[in-house]
Amino acid sequence: MKSYLDSIKENLKQHVNPYLPSWEYVPDGEPYVFGDRVYVYGSHDKFNGDVYCMGDYVCWSAPVDDLGAWRYEGVIYRKDQDPVNGDLQGNLYAPDVAVGPDGRYYLYYVLSDVGFVSVAVCDTPAGSYEFYGYVHYADGVRLGDRPGDEPQFDPGVLREGDRTYLYTGFCGAGDKSRHGAMCTVLGPDMLTVIEDPVFVAPGQEYSAGTGFEGHAFFEAPSIRKRDGKYYFIYSSQLFHELCYAVSDDPREGFKYGGCIISAGDLGIDTYKPADQCMFYTANNHGSMECINGDWYIFYHRHTNGTNYSRQGCFEKIYFNEDGSIPQVEITSCNGLEPLRAEGFYPSYIACQLFTDTFVTYVPWSGWMDDRFPKVTQEGGDGDENYGYIANMRPGAAAGYKYFDFKGVKKVTVSTKGYAKGFIDVKLSWNGETIGSIPVEYANVWRLSSADIEIPDGVSPVYFTFRGFGYLQFGGFGFN
């Protein structure tokens, strides 16, 4: 077997979730194919951040034929570049990008402390964007500032010819002043409103009788077009799911379609009860894109036991003949070919993390640290240390989907912490233990192994701590 770190580095060249390095926190992913690469634009959290979106915008890209080879494109826009943000109190919330009629790339965003849309522009997909202006009416009044306007939030954009469709909105539960997601049409300058906002999907307070009940619009509007149909992707009132609505017209007629993905696999009943959450969730934001002939949904997950250190993930999705999208599972392998069951893997690629007390939402206070495991990292924000799972108390489990097992006879784990007992290996979340690995107290990472024969074939694998204390789980290996 290769050295622990060398083996991890090699295995992470496969398709894995999260798809960026574990020390990078880019949620709200909007993927686009430009040329022969896919570029992902998102907000930028920090490890141990205090609030959402504390960083400047960065961009990552990958070849369309190798979604395991992501490249850092660097900082593309700083929050001090917006003229209204001189005191830096505004954070750069979720952005979107559209190519203008002039071939340039336009970056749309809303600062955290305002209610209007800013725009930056660049000649290349991931170059240095420069401030361009604010979306405004023909009289110069900013969209969101005119009396009667609802505040702008989370812009999503789609250009067709000389018209750009701008989707915005935020609708919190109990707030009747917010009606739903809005669509505004901009002219060829990518800034000036030529058709006023109309509502295209209702918020929770106005969803009765619309078909959106129970999955009404909350935030994160995004738009894509496929086979002549407009797909409006959004985060619903349940927070953890990305839903979609479909219409023949970008400005009206959207009908609720369903949930594409839940960051906790809620709604999936093929391997557990539909209402059982398998990863700690909060808000969600992302979109879908056709990459090299296949469609994918990009979303994010929450780490470090808070709302403010989110990591991007994606899964392959499928369309039925009628254009509907079945909900897909969250996986460690992007819903693509299973991972090789050889060598070492870091524990942070877990797609499932739970105890015998199933919890859906990441709490807002620190009490979660006392009860539940979490993905975290050593060092500070930006330190290039592989993530790991902390605070695995007795009964805590981490699950991974999927591996292609062939001739596995031994399983190794990396652990540390004030804990003593066993890590039980299972092939389903509530299945029988097929083998156990003894673990001891350790002040630094320690490798422990046991002879465990895993049947050949494609399967999930689960590691459950049994004993006492609290365990830090660094990774695992097969040989």
User: Is 28 among the catalytic positions?
Assistant: yes
Q: How far, in Å, CA of 38 to CA of 314, rounded?
A: 13
3-state secondary structure 408-420: CCEEEEEEEECEE
Residue in 219, 207, 71, 224 with CA at minimum distance from that of residue 160: 224
Please tell me the distance from the alpha carbon of residue 327 to that of residue 313, in angstroms, as a whole number. Answer: 15
Tokens of 204: 């929770």
Catalytic hit among 219, 265, 289, 329: 219
Q: Cα-Cα-Cα-Cα dihedral of 209, 214, 216, 220, to 10°?
A: -170
| Long-range contact set of residues 79-85: C-beta below 8 Å, sequence gap at least 24 | 79/111, 81/120, 81/129, 81/130, 81/131, 82/111, 82/118, 82/131, 83/131, 84/111, 84/114, 84/118, 85/111
Asked whether 375 and 304 are in contact (CB, 8 A), the reply is yes
DSSP character at residue 6:
H
- Burial pattern 407-435, b for ≥16 Cβ within 10 A else e, equals ebebbbbbbbbebebbbbbbbebeeeeeb
- Given a contact cutoff of 8 angstroms between Cβ atoms, the answer to whether 474 and 1 are in contact is no
The number of residues in the chain equals 479
**What is the number of other CB atoms lying within 10 angstroms of the CB of residue 322?**
7
Q: Any catalytic annotation for residue 162?
A: no
Q: Read out DSSP for 285-300? A: --EEEEETTEEEEEEE
Using CA atoms, how far apart are residues 32 and 420, in angstroms rounded to an integer?
A: 47
Q: Which listed residue (24, 28, 45, 424) is catalytic?
A: 28
Asked if 477 contacts 345 with a C-beta cutoff of 8 angstroms, the reply is yes
Catalytic site positions: 28, 219
